[in-house]
Amino acid sequence: MATPEQVREALTQKLSGLQSQGGGTSLEVLEVKVPSVFPKLLLKIRVGVSGQLWEVSLDYEGHEASLVSGDLAEDTLDYLVFLVRTHLFEWWHTKDTEKFSARMGKRLD
């Protein structure tokens, strides 16, 4: 089973940095918590996009959280990274119109 430190390191390597060829979006993993009591995964990610800097919290339970409860196989890790990027994309496009999305992030600049 992967330790919280291994999960953090793996997600940091896969997620951090520029996210597109144009260099318009960057991500930095700030915090990863993997509580051992319940299948849960908490992520705090700094998102830089369009000259703005945000801190976004993502909270996964159930199936998504269970992805890190075993060994971190490459395909499993790639799937989790895909989910995180998808959720950040959805958050970005709904943060101004959906209350739930608005609570997930705070602007830093």
Global pTM? 0.85
Higher pLDDT, 96 or 69: 96
pLDDT score at 99: 96
- For the cut 80, the answer to whether the pLDDT of residue 4 exceeds it is no
Report the C-alpha dihedral over residues 96, 102, 105, 109, rounded to 10 degrees: 50
Q: How many other C-beta atoms are found inside a 10 Å radius of the C-beta of residue 32?
A: 21
- Give the pLDDT confidence score for residue 103 in this predicted structure: 96
Higher pLDDT, 18 or 57: 57
Q: What is the pLDDT of residues 46-84, one digit of tens each?
A: 999 888 999 999 998 888 887 777 778 889 889 888 999
Mean pLDDT, rounded, for 18-24? 65
Residue with the larger pLDDT of the pair 107 and 19: 107
Model pLDDT, residue 23: 58
* Domain assignments of the chain as residue spans, ordered by start: 4-107
Tokens of 15: 């997620």
Sign of CA dihedral 51, 108, 90, 12: positive
Mean pLDDT of 89-97: 94
To the nearest whole number, what is the mean pLDDT of the chain? Answer: 85
